[in-house]
Copies of this chain bind each other. A is one copy, B any other.
Amino acid sequence: MLEELKRAVLEANLELPRAGLVALTWGNVSGRDPGTGLVVIKPSGVPYATMKAEDMVVVGPDGKVVEGEFRPSTDTPTHLVLYEHLAGIGGVVHTHSTWATAWAQADRPIPVMGTTHADLSHMEIPVTEPLSPQQVQGGYELATGRAVLAAVAGRPAAEVPAVLVSGHGTFCWGASPDKAVEAAISLEEVAKMAWLTVGLAPSTGPLPAHIIERHFSRKHGPDAYYGQG
């Protein structure tokens, strides 16, 4: 079942090590089938080098495995709650990509310091509140997803396509698994540029709003004129 989505999810997972976003078996990508609401996700702890499309696990919105030989990623409850609440998304990625994770560990949101960031989002990349002991005990991965949603604060998914999880890493999303991976690639590059900018000029503020909005609207929304759309 869902053969095409499995291939897309496999391919998106394989792109993570190719793009330098993950080491070992860290990181995972899922995709959602809009017709059935089923989610296809990477199995837990399986090496990228030998993963095949048929190893992808199909889960229902309640987290129960519908098809697959392997256990799904331990982060599955985070993915599912994001699909439930972020309207229109079709792919979710989790990484510990190096430069973005440094911002997450420093507990600092990434300001919009340049147009590379504005091409991804016209807002700063938010960082979640730390989880309390109670939240961790009552379902750690679900609590992580809820903290991500709290950081999004009800804004449209396309305007905030990425969140830093405090002390942890990143969650990104998009219309499809590969678009979610594109957001993760952009986020890592934006995080690195912002880190290096702070090193040169610690007090750099955000770009002026008229530049941010122009760049964001070149790629997103009704007036977009980037690409072949």
Where the two chains meet, the residues of A that have a C-beta atom closer than 8 Å to any C-beta of B are: 19, 23-26, 43-46, 70-71, 74, 96, 98-99, 101-108, 113-116, 130-131, 133, 136, 140, 167-169, 182, 185-186, 189, 192-201, 204, 207-208, 210-211, 214, 218, 225-229
Contact = CB atoms under 8 A, between A and B. Distances in A.
Contact of A131 (B24, B98, B211): B211
Which of A26, A101, A133, A201 has the largest number of chain B CB atoms within 10 A? Answer: A101
Contacts of A210: 133, 136
B74 A192 contact: no
B200 A74 contact: no
A70 B228 CA distance: 7
Contact of A214 (B136, B198, B201, B229): B136
B102 A199 contact: yes
Contacts of A182: 24
Contacts of A200: 102-103, 106, 108, 195, 198
A225 B228 CA distance: 45
A196 B228 contact: no
B74 A167 contact: no
Which of A74, A194, A225 has the largest number of chain B CB atoms within 10 A? Answer: A74
Contacts of A214: 136, 140
Contacts of A113: 105, 167
Nearest to A69: B228
A30 B45 CA distance: 24
A189 B23 contact: yes
Nearest to A198: B200
Contacts of A136: 210-211, 214
B98 A46 contact: no
Contacts of A116: 26, 96, 101, 169
A208 B130 contact: yes
